[in-house]
Amino acid sequence: MTDKTFIIKKIQQLKEEKNAVILAHCYQNIEIDEVADFVGDSLYLSQQASYTSKDIIVFAGVYFMAETAKILSPNKKVLLPRKEAGCLMADMIDINQLREFKAKYPGVPVVCYVNSSAEVKSECDICCTSSNAVSVVKSLGAERVLFVPDTYLGNHVSKQLPDVEVITYNGFCPTHLRILPDDVDKMRSLHEKAIVLSHPECHQEVVKRSDFTGSTSQIINYVKKSNEKEFIIATELGVKERLERDYPDKEFYLVSPKAVCPNMKWHQLEDILNALINEEHEVVVEKNIAKKALAPIERMLGLRD
């Protein structure tokens, strides 16, 4: 029995013994899928965190995701296998910066991208993910909205809803901004028949060069439904790896070798095992913050397209 096989077997055993569930984001190292109960984007994983009856949630993702799981399941023990797994975008805004931003636009509702801390969520009106941002903003029925922290997702929403003024905070995803317009042009020249699929966190010049822009789940679903055979993937490496695994009859090209999120790649199978053995790196959200942050998250989850 190889070390990897032993680790996977031990993880499965401990999941049963400790009544645990493993949630994994699709930017994670693909080996994590072998032990994960649910793999998907932020919206899907938030939903699973709210539904679970398990006692322990092991979250293979980044810190804000584990915080969201804790807010939705306050009586569960939520573990982040590697405490270093943070999010540079989420770190670009704190509660004081949010308050300063809101003070410039009194009375304007605030839409908070889920890529943010619990504290920031606690002072927003509604949360969103990249897959539902347009429908969330539309649901407010407002002429103006504030959008934090990702200016690129906010700009993407603005283009879909021209009657709404979307005022964005100047945050961004460093991984997606490492994807350059020239990268798209170069890959198109190499693979003329390929369809370009991009994430809305990318620069707008990358989006303009794309055939389709959507969340990770929307990109995966596009490939599933498409009759095309070649795709240029302009988002994180993990999406391309899973598409290659799930659709072996199609060809996928990563737009740039720089499209890798180092924080998402922290977790290894050994870390999942250690989290279950030691139940360490528990995520705790202060009760008052959690109560306030729950409302905008639940408003998002309650929406129906």
User: What confidence tens digit (pLDDT) does each residue in 271-283 have?
Assistant: 999 999 999 999 9
Q: Residue 221: CB partners within 8 Å, gap ≥ 6?
A: none
Summarised one tens digit per residue, pLDDT across range 150-202 is: 999 999 999 999 999 999 999 999 999 999 999 999 999 999 999 999 999 99
In a domain, 16, yes or no: yes
pLDDT greater than 90 at residue 2: no
In the predicted structure, residue 114 carries a pLDDT above the cut 80: yes
- Tell me, yes or no, whether 246 and 202 share the same domain: yes
Q: What is the pLDDT of residues 221-250, one digit of tens each?
A: 999 999 999 999 999 999 999 999 999 999
Given a contact cutoff of 8 angstroms between Cβ atoms, the answer to whether 54 and 266 are in contact is: no
Distance from C-alpha of 136 to C-alpha of 125, rounded to nearest angstrom: 11
254 has which bridge partners? 233
Residue 148 included in any domain: yes
145 lies in the same domain as 118? yes
Task: Let me know if residue 18 belongs to a domain.
Answer: yes
Distance of alpha carbon 281 from alpha carbon 72, whole angstroms: 18
Report pTM. Answer: 0.93
Question: In this structure, are 94 and 169 located in the same domain?
Answer: yes
CATH number of the domain residue 63 falls in: 3.40.50.10800
CA contacts within 13 A on the Cβ side of 273: 15
Q: Torsion-angle region of residue 2: left (phi > 0), alpha (psi -120 to 50) or beta? A: beta
Domain total of the chain = 3
What backbone torsions phi and psi does residue 282 show, to the nearest 5 degrees?
-70, 135
**Whether 156 and 296 share a structural domain:** yes
SS3 172: coil
Mean pLDDT (the chain) is 96
The pLDDT value recorded for residue 257 is: 98
Q: Are residues 213 and 241 located together in one domain of the fold?
A: yes
Judgement on whether residues 160 and 187 belong to the same structural domain of the protein: no
Strands 56-60 and 20-25: parallel
Residue 45: partners with Cβ closer than 8 Å, 6 or more residues away? 23, 24, 25, 38, 59, 61, 65, 69
Rg (CA), the chain: 19
The answer to whether residue 153 is domain-embedded is yes
The pLDDT of residue 46 is 84
pLDDT mean over 122-132: 96
Structure tokens at 260: 């890798």
Q: Are residues 201 and 247 in the same domain?
A: yes
In a domain, 259, yes or no: no
Backbone phi, psi, residue 38, to 5°: -140, 135
pLDDT grade for 50, boundaries at 50, 70 and 90: confident
- Distance (Å, whole) CA 95 – CA 115: 14
Mark whether 80 and 96 lie in a shared domain.
Answer: no
Is the per-residue pLDDT at 293 higher than 80?
A: yes
pLDDT of residue 135: 96
How does pLDDT run across 190-226, given as a tens digit for each residue?
A: 999 999 999 999 999 999 999 999 999 999 999 999 9
Q: Is position 151 within any domain? A: yes
Domain interval for residue 238: 179-254
- Among candidates 202, 81, 111, 197, which has minimal Cα distance to 153? 202
What letters, b where the CB count within 10 A reaches 16 and e where it falls short, cover 11-33? beebbeeeebbbbbbbbbbbbbb
For residue 1, the model assigns a pLDDT of: 57
Q: What is the pLDDT of residue 304?
A: 64
pLDDT tens readout for residues 80-112: 999 999 999 999 999 999 999 999 999 999 999
Write out the H or E segment, with its range, that includes residue 234. Answer: strand 230-234
The SS3 call for residue 196 is strand
